[in-house]
Amino acid sequence: MRTVDWQNNAVRLIDQRVLPGRFEVIDYTDYRELAKAITEMVVRGAPAIGAAGAFGMALAAQQSAARGRDGLLNDLAQAKAVLDAARPTAINLSWATNRVMTLAGHLVLPNPDDIRSAVLAEAQKIADEDVEINRRMAMHGAALIADGDTVLHHCNTGALATVDYGTALGAIRMAHEQGKRVHVLVDETRPRLQGARLTAWELKQLGVPFDLIADNAAGHFMYTGQVQAVFVGADRVAANGDVANKIGTYKLAVVAKENSVPFYVVAPTSTVDPSVPDGTHIPIEERPMDEVLGLETHGERVAPEGITARNPAFDVTPNRYVTAIVTENGVVRPPYGEGLRRAVRNV
């Protein structure tokens, strides 16, 4: 099934908090509850969050009691503010809600039910496009993987991070489906362990050979020549090619550069934010400290009681460490400014 879907007038999500131990789905009929689910990472991954936000706008349209166009648009604007605030770093969220809001605002339809139908259709279109875009990106990304390569992957960028198929993990999946012998080193990706819990689970389902490694082991494998490429996704790409992605990405990029290992970012053009000149302008979400302090091993708490922690969810990788950015419209290489603009315009 799709990670994000619309069924029976509800948004259906795979609950990523309980994988790999259990596979559960949750239906949402209230956009506020859906926004909470985005914050709590029931759904995560920039493209999946974007689709969820679009469907959240469809829920808001359903929930609105407005009998006229202006009232419905006002309710949609309020819902957009709530949804956008759920995860501030991932630009796909506001990109998707903007797209739905812009469509609704341009419709000259006096019957609000017609607007409600159009909003749902646009949200469904965004979700369907994501699957097609991911496959196009995967083709471009797979071309960068040679037969026999070992690829290092951080966080989760597979079908669970998108509506279906995946971004960086989609490229690895495509290479595997093409018959290439690809092996993956999977970072655990602390503190929420998306690599250990989600990427490992997906690769196991796909039959792609992999080994799980501690985050701090990545440098060793690159230094000893056991990695041919690093593949990661992105939550926002600045106009100059700086990349915001899951915390720990910057460290990997620096070590990859030091060891002459190509560092590839795979992201749809909806993740490119032309309004942000460079990475210093990207807001970095800081999540609750209990995600760090609540870690247990063998049933015992790791950190002492009564201490504090810092928990940034993302970091920024300057463009000088990025070998190429893979989009659905092709592979963009430095200098990134004009190349990203052309990719976004699809020219």
Q: Which of 72-86, 108-122, 201-215 has the lowest mean pLDDT?
A: 108-122
Quote the pLDDT of residue 311. Answer: 97
Which two structure tokens, joined as six digits, stand for 300?
């015992």
**Nearest in space to 268 (alpha carbons), one of 74, 27, 15, 96:** 96
Map out the domains of the chain as residue ranges.
4-134, 136-345
Region 162-188: mean pLDDT is: 98
37 backbone dihedrals φ, ψ, rounded to 5°: -65, -35
Model confidence at 347, pLDDT cuts 50, 70, 90, reads low
CATH 1.10.1740.10 fits 4-134, yes or no: no
pLDDT in tens, 81-132: 999 999 999 899 999 999 999 999 998 887 899 999 999 999 999 999 999 9
CATH domain 136-345 topology: Rossmann fold (3.40.50)
Annotated catalytic residues are: 235
**Nearest in space to 245 (alpha carbons), one of 168, 173, 175, 344:** 168
